[in-house]
């Protein structure tokens, strides 16, 4: 019996499907459950008056814009609605970092409140919130996959691995069509197979990268997602090629010596063992996009899920091998981005 039929379990597989649930089915059920929960949450969010931080009820937004016109700087920003990002202009750094946090707060109803006071930091692990199609767990967009736990756990490890780095300890979200993104020269984006950038985002990302920004791409699998991502990047950087990064590229030795690219499975597969790939993304690859001067602008981790390894590094069932590798890669990315 060919291997694929066992996984599909249909139509000629063993009849055991009545007694055990396959991975695929389990995933479908979980996804359906969370999608419906997400729908309920969205309905709840829009159907009820929003609550102000001082506890008083805000006037009901009958036309959907009155909240935005009343206090522009606190306009609710939706990452789901295309083109609905407010252009916040250029503000002072401390104001900006607070605003950045509020963007994540207000755009993600369930995100923890991260009010940043005090002195701005040198390094922010900024997650790129981009427009895309197909929600994941009902949280507005594929960009928010593993958010915010992956970011939080990652930063707590970074604090120990790079003690000299003055890093902000909490998750942080930026949109690339927001001029303020330029304050954060490193961005992390994942699940980019569902990325569908708006024209302002395309321009914003292009300018960001050409000005000197660095983008880490992670957690997308297989040919179809690759094609979508490649199509998006061709619009962002039409004159730049995506190339394979050899293992002797300095990014693999900047801090840790990495001598092999391994496939990091998602948490489910990692905990259970067995296959590590998703869809047809069997071979993990690290690719890059360079500028005219040969400087690496984008590092692409395809057919691998570093984010899950970061997120579940504290899970005793998640294999150490994967999280070690993922953290080594993550540290190297940061050190490389901050010096090259």
Partner 1 sequence: MDTIFEFLFKYRPILFQEGDFTFASTWPSLLVLGAVAAVTIPTLFTYGQARGDSRKGDRTVMAVIRLGLVAVLVFILFQPTLVLTSVVPQRNFVGILIDDSQSMRIPDEGGVSRADFIRTTFGAEGSELLTALSDKFALRFFRFSRDASRLNDMSELSYSGTATNLGNAMVRAQEELAGVPISGLVVVSDGADNSGEVLAESLLPLQAGGVPVYTIGLGEEELARDVQVSRVEMPRTVLVGTSLVVDVIVSHQGYSGRTVQLLVEDTGALLASEDVTFEGDGEPVVTRVRIHAEDAGPRVLRFRVAPQEGERVTENNVRDVLVDVVNDAEKILYFEGEPRWEVKFIRRAVSDDENLQVVVLQRTAESKFLRLDVDDADELAAGFPKTREELFRYRALILGSVEASFFTHDQLDMIADFVSQRGGGLLVLGGRNAFTQGGYQGTRLAEALPVFLDDELSTSAEPYYGELFVAPTRTGLTHPATQLGEDNSDAVEARWASLPPLTTLNPITRLKPGATGLLTGGPEQERDRQIVLAYHRYGRGKVIALPVQDSWIWQMHADISLEDQTHEVFWRQLLRWLTDGVPSQVAAQADRELVEPGQPVNLIVDVGDSAYVEVNDGNVVAMIRTPSGDTMTVPLDWDVEQDGHYEAGFPTTGPGLYEVSVNALRGADTIGAALTYVNVAPSDEEYFNASMRGATLRRVADQTGGIFYTPETVANLPEDISLTGAGVTLTEERDLWDMPILLILVLGLMAAEWGYRRKRGLI
Q: Quote the least distance from Cβ 4 to partner 1, whole Å.
A: 46
Judged by the rule CB under 8 A, the positions of this chain that interact with partner 1 are 90, 92-94, 119-120, 122-123, 161-166, 179-183, 185, 207, 210-213, 254-255, 293, 295, 334-335, 337-340
Closest CB 238 distance from partner 1, rounded Å: 15
How many residues are listed for the chain in this entry? 340
Alpha-carbon gap, residue 257 to 262, rounded angstroms = 14
Cβ 197 to partner 1 shortest distance, Å: 18
Nearer to partner 1 among residue 53 and residue 339 (C-beta) = 339
Q: Kind of pairing, strands 126-128 and 172-174?
A: parallel
Count Cα atoms within 13 angstroms, Cβ side, for 126: 26
Shortest Å, Cβ 321 to partner 1: 22
Whose Cβ is closer to partner 1: residue 64's or residue 163's?
Answer: 163
Q: Which is nearer to partner 1, 144 or 173 (CB)?
A: 173
- For the chain, helix, strand, coil in percent to 5 are 40, 10, 45
- Please say which residue, 207 or 315, places its beta carbon nearer to partner 1: 207
Least distance in angstroms from the C-beta of 196 to partner 1: 23
Q: Pick the closer one to partner 1 by CB: 61 or 162.
A: 162
Of the pair 211, 282, the CB lying nearest partner 1 is at 211
Report the C-alpha dihedral over residues 228, 137, 53, 105, rounded to 10 degrees. Answer: -30
Report the nearest approach of partner 1 to the CB of residue 216 (Å).
15
In angstroms, give the least distance from the CB of 91 to partner 1: 10
CA distance 221 to 192: 9
Residue 131 or residue 178: which is nearer to partner 1 going by CB? 178
Report whether 303 contacts 214 (CB < 8 A): no
Q: How many angstroms separate the CA atoms of 165 and 155, rounded? A: 11
Task: Report the side by side order of strands in the sheet with 172-174.
Answer: 172-174, 126-128, 186-190, 214-220, 296-302, 285-290, 242-244
Beta strand 186-190 with 172-174 is unpaired
Question: Do residues 258 and 247 lie in contact, with contact meaning Cβ atoms separated by under 8 Å?
Answer: yes
């Amino acid at each position: 019996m060919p291997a694929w039929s066992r996984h599909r379990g249909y139509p000629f597989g063993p009849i055991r499907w009545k007694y055990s649930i396959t991975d695929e089915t389990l995933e479908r059920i979980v996804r359906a459950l969370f999608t419906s929960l997400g729908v309920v949450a969205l309905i709840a969010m829009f159907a009820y008056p929003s609550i102000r931080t001082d506890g008083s009820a805000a006037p009901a937004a009958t036309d959907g814009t009155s909240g935005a016109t009343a206090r522009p700087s606190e306009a609710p920003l939706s990452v789901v609605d295309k083109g609905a990002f407010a252009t916040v202009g250029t503000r002072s750094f401390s104001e900006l970092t607070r605003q950045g946090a509020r963007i994540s707060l207000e755009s993600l109803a369930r995100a923890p409140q991260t009010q940043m006071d005090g002195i701005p930091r040198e390094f922010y692990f900024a997650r790129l919130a981009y427009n895309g199609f197909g929600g994941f767990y009902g949280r507005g967009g594929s960009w928010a996959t593993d958010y915010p736990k992956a970011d939080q756990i990652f930063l707590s490890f970074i604090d120990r691995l790079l003690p000299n780095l003055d890093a902000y300890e909490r998750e942080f979200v930026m949109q690339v069509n927001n001029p303020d993104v330029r304050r954060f020269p490193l961005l992390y984006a994942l699940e980019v197979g569902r990325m569908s950038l708006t024209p302002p985002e395309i321009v914003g990302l292009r300018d960001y990268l050409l000005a000197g920004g660095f983008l880490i791409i992670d957690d997308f699998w297989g040919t179809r997602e690759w094609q979508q991502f490649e199509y998006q990047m061709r619009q962002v950087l039409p004159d730049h090629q995506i190339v394979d990064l050899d293992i002797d590229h300095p990014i693999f030795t900047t801090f840790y010596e990495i001598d092999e690219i391994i496939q990091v499975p998602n948490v489910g597969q990692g905990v259970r063992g067995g296959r590590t790939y998703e869809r047809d993304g069997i071979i993990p690859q690290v690719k890059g996009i360079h500028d005219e001067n040969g400087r690496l602008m984008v590092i692409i981790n395809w057919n691998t899920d570093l984010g899950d390894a970061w997120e579940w590094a504290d899970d005793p069932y998640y294999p150490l091998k994967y999280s070690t590798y993922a953290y080594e890669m993550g540290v190297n990315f940061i050190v490389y981005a901050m010096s090259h």
